[in-house]
A and B are shown apart, each in its own frame.
Chain A
């Protein structure tokens, strides 16, 4: 210490106000990972709100786009798979089967793609402000969740209208079905966050990554039973049985079946899926051990989240200088 100015600790000084002598010296960048994000909920809330507002900033329709986009996509899929290809044959309320799945698939694809880009698209902040960087993928996931809400509203309306107008029973949400749907949402949240965390920092170091992710994300809607009934995969006529096990190991497929259990199955009058033929045979709606599978996948998802956090904290050190 060559020169240290003698500052007298008067009562108003910072040293006294903040009792700095008892604050330990700590690295300025130290964070406790994803837990820190929830400790700074206020900042997280502001960031989520910022993203939501910025999304449709300057558009005339504003939030209506959150309804228009999924609705048109639904109509397209319904037209092609339901009417043209007849994939809804032998199935009751194919439209609801499809749309229930789309809610979660859209939520998943959106959280992974926006999560992957989250660090790069916030590079202005990251290079200048010290804050837990887990914030960005988590915020992307929550913004995507926010955009799933309008779709969920469309889904509920569709279920109620189907029960009212159609021949089937009135749609009454049952406790098991709602718990299953909730589990479906939680699964997507956990996996979406885990992938978002891992991919976001990989994407900074290896920028081709978001294009690779995009390629795989485009496949996801076809790997879940929403445009076609589950039994097409399960009955072993088209694909060998062992591939079925891989198919149902997909957490998104599991989540889709869980939400269909909550919304689509209660709208059916009698067996939901009957395979046309002579004689027509009743087919399973979902994979056999739907709930226990869901819970096991949740545990795996939480482990994956831990892995995601580990990868993130290893890679994020070099993130600011690579932006």
Chain B
């Protein structure tokens, strides 16, 4: 078994105010409180992922999930510690990243694929699959600025899932898109997972994590709160429905149903 991702004692600090004015800086200096402006989004996070594992990354809002994904995907660099990966990474930190509103869907597919590291030949070969999956029909040559948000998201997802990658990252992919598309996404992600690609899946939906992942990491205020079995992770998070509001339960039920579809 090959190690796919190593995260070693990683910390990342952010500032509350990224661009303080000169006046603000001077005021803080005079009051001697310039250290107060920052917080640790991740604090000493360590874990290892083996090739082919499927990890569910869970945690409340603001627990550092997106920051961790950005570190693993290479968008950001850790302040302390190190992140090491093996092979090509694809996925969605957010849908439709890097789309240019004035360009057509077709041009954006090529652009986005190139950003994810695909060559022209690879994209040419997969173009029909990508187009079919995105299912935007005649809008392929329309500027994506005129797309509906669903179409926009479908196109972005479609490119990401067709990259021949070794690690696939998915951040809240199911937040957009209608039900048939969600089902298609989950099916596709299952295929990705079964082909031996390491998967990093972020979701608040306990049901889909249960379905998709064989291990869960729960982040709690920037630290690893729990790492291991999915069921226990859900219990750890109290996502198992004890104190859920009715609305959330509906959502969970629907997700459950969805997860059963695939």
Contact = CB atoms under 8 A, between A and B. Distances in A.
B110 interface: yes
Nearest to A21: B2
A1 interface: yes
Interface in B167-210: 195-197
A66 B121 CA distance: 32
Contacts of A130: 73-75, 89
A12 interface: yes
B86 A322 contact: no
A234 B14 CA distance: 54
Interface in A177-205: none
A13 B196 contact: yes
Interface stretch (A24-32, A265-273, A295-303): A24-32
Contacts of A46: 110-111, 114
Interface string B17-47: 0110000000000000000000000000000
A132 to B, nearest CB: 10
Nearest to A321: B14
Contacts of A57: 102
A18 B195 CA distance: 12
B72 interface: yes
Contacts of B103: 50, 53-54
A2 B196 contact: no
Interface stretch (B50-58, B126-134, B248-256): B50-58
A24 B86 contact: yes
Interface residues of B, number: 55
Contacts of A212: none
Interface stretch (B91-99, B147-155, B239-247): B91-99
B117 to A, nearest CB: 8
Contacts of A20: 2, 4, 51, 86-87, 166
Nearest to B121: A42
Nearest to A29: B74
B141 interface: no
Interface stretch (A82-90, A121-129, A152-160, A167-175): A121-129
Interface stretch (A3-11, A98-106, A277-285): A3-11
Contacts of B62: none
B214 interface: yes
A80 interface: no
Interface residues of A, number: 46
A246 interface: no
A15 B89 contact: no
Nearest to A57: B102
Q: Which of A2, A42, A128 has the most CB of B within 10 A?
A: A128
Contacts of A40: 114
A54 B100 contact: yes
A131 interface: yes
A128 to B, nearest CB: 3
Contacts of A25: 3, 6, 84-86
Contacts of B6: 25
Given A50-B100, A57-B102, A320-B75, A4 B89 contact: no
Nearest to B85: A28
Nearest to A10: B196
B171 to A, nearest CB: 9
Interface in A202-244: 207
B115 interface: yes
A73 interface: no
Contacts of B14: 321
Contacts of A21: 2
B161 interface: no
A288 interface: no
A313 to B, nearest CB: 11
Contact of A58 (B2, B54, B83, B102): B102
Contacts of B75: 29, 126-130, 320
Contacts of B88: 18
A60 interface: no
Interface in B66-124: 70-77, 82-89, 93-94, 97-98, 100, 102-103, 107, 110-111, 114-116, 119-120
Contacts of B82: 27
B51 A42 contact: no
Contacts of B52: 5, 7, 13-15
Interface in A291-321: 317, 320-321
A165 interface: no
Q: Which of B53, B76, B97, B197 has the most CB of A within 10 A?
A: B76
14 contacts: A3-B214, A4-B1, A4-B215, A5-B215, A7-B52, A13-B195, A14-B196, A27-B83, A27-B84, A28-B85, A29-B77, A50-B100, A130-B89, A207-B19
10 nearest A-B pairs in the assembled complex, by CB-CB distance: A28-B74, A13-B196, A130-B74, A128-B97, A7-B52, A29-B74, A2-B228, A25-B84, A125-B98, A43-B114
Given A7-B52, A29-B74, 10 more contacts: A2-B227, A2-B228, A15-B196, A21-B2, A25-B86, A29-B76, A42-B120, A50-B100, A50-B103, A129-B93
